[in-house]
Amino acid sequence: MTAAQAGCLTAALEIGYHLLDRGVPALTAVEQAIRVLEQSRLFNAGRGSHVQLDGVRRMDASIMEGRDLQAGAVASIEGIVHPISAARLVMEQTTHVLLVGKPASAFARHCKLERQPRRPSGQAARTSTMTKAWSPKTLALYRAMMASGPVLRKRAGKETVGAVALDRTGTVAAGASTGGIDMMLPGRVGDTPIIGCGVYADNDSGAVSMTGLGEGIIRIAVAKEICDRLARGERPGAAAAQVLKKLVQRIDGAAGSLVLAPDGRFVITHVTPRMTAGWWNGKGRPTVGDCFR
């Protein structure tokens, strides 16, 4: 975690908490905290999103509240800064949960969300610059699909962003936003926009937001399984630990989780070497770190 990332995360926590302290719903606190991270270019979301093999940023996001189980999500959305706000608009202005691809992008433009270029400027390179660090299987499939096209050099050190919150009414909310994994096949979608996998929120159980390798998180439906354990009375730490253990043992997955119970108990935990995260209850300074064991 860089100093800039730590500072940005601290700012997001402060904004989220102060909103809650003023009586704002958990859903808004989650959205606004994530918007700070999307705007920063420091994380794998919004302006800092990874690109797919054709050099285009296609982003995913979702948001959910626990009172009425309302949820909204977007997948493979292009050309906007704040996918998390697009996800909330899907929830509030349509009868749907998930919009994908070009129609999702058109919906965001219709709602006048802040825009950004589909392709990051000044970083495009030709297919011939691909390195051995990229999966030969993926590259071979991409070549077969696309023949040729621009790509971006591999980048690292950025993470999916997410947040969970509990407001004064006892309502929980969860959200997540991501640019996916670097150099993925065009059209790849991970866990983030899939309700029950990347996020879940229910006032009867709690709120969960995930980060990590989406393919594994989807196969376990991690967020919903953690919430189901919370509903059966398990502590947040125990519930998250058991599901992440299953993720590793069954499919060699890698992930981290933010888990919040309806009574305010919470845990930040991960089976990856690092996970940049933090929390704040309004006392002292926000706690921010990159290892929570």
pLDDT digit string, tens, across residues 21-66: 999 999 999 999 999 999 999 999 999 998 888 888 999 999 999 9
pLDDT at 158: 58
Nearest to 243 by CA among 229, 232, 264, 262: 229
- Contact assessment for residue 162 and residue 191, using Cβ atoms and an 8 Å cutoff: no
Identify the domain containing residue 227 by its residue range: 3-289
pLDDT at 80 over 90: yes
Count how many residues are written for the chain.
293
Catalytic annotation, pick one of 2, 127, 129, 160: 160
154, two tokens: 């591999």
Buried b (16+ CB within 10 A) or exposed e, 54-85: bbbbbbbbbbbbbbeebbbbbbbbbbbbbbbb
pLDDT-derived band at 90 (thresholds 50, 70, 90) equals very high
Average pLDDT over residues 253-265: 96
The set of residues, in sequence order, having a beta carbon less than 8 Å from that of 116 and lying 6+ positions away, is 46, 47, 57, 79, 80, 81
pLDDT at 135: 56
What is the chain's mean pLDDT, rounded? 88
DSSP per-residue string spanning 49-60: ---BTTS---EE
211, two tokens: 């980060």
49, two tokens: 């999103």
pLDDT at 288 over 90: yes
Active site residue 160: yes
> Which comes out higher in pLDDT, residue 134 or 209?
209
Nearest to 115 by CA among 74, 73, 86, 150: 86
Strand (E) or helix (H) holding 212: strand 206-212
β partners of residue 141: none
pLDDT at 136: 57
Average pLDDT over residues 263-268: 96
CATH of the domain at 35: 3.60.20.30
Q: State how many domains the chain has.
A: 1
Maximum C-alpha span of the chain: 56
Average pLDDT over residues 249-268: 96
pLDDT at 144 over 80: no
Give the whole-number percent of the chain exceeding pLDDT 70: 87
Q: What is the C-alpha to C-alpha distance for residues 266 and 255, in angstroms, rounded to an integer?
A: 17
Give the whole-number percent of the chain exceeding pLDDT 90: 77
Q: What is the C-alpha to C-alpha distance for residues 146 and 126, in angstroms, rounded to an integer?
A: 13
pLDDT digits 0-9 by tens, 161-184: 999 999 999 999 999 999 987 777
pLDDT at 186: 84
pLDDT-derived band at 249 (thresholds 50, 70, 90) equals very high
pLDDT at 1: 86
pLDDT at 123 over 50: no
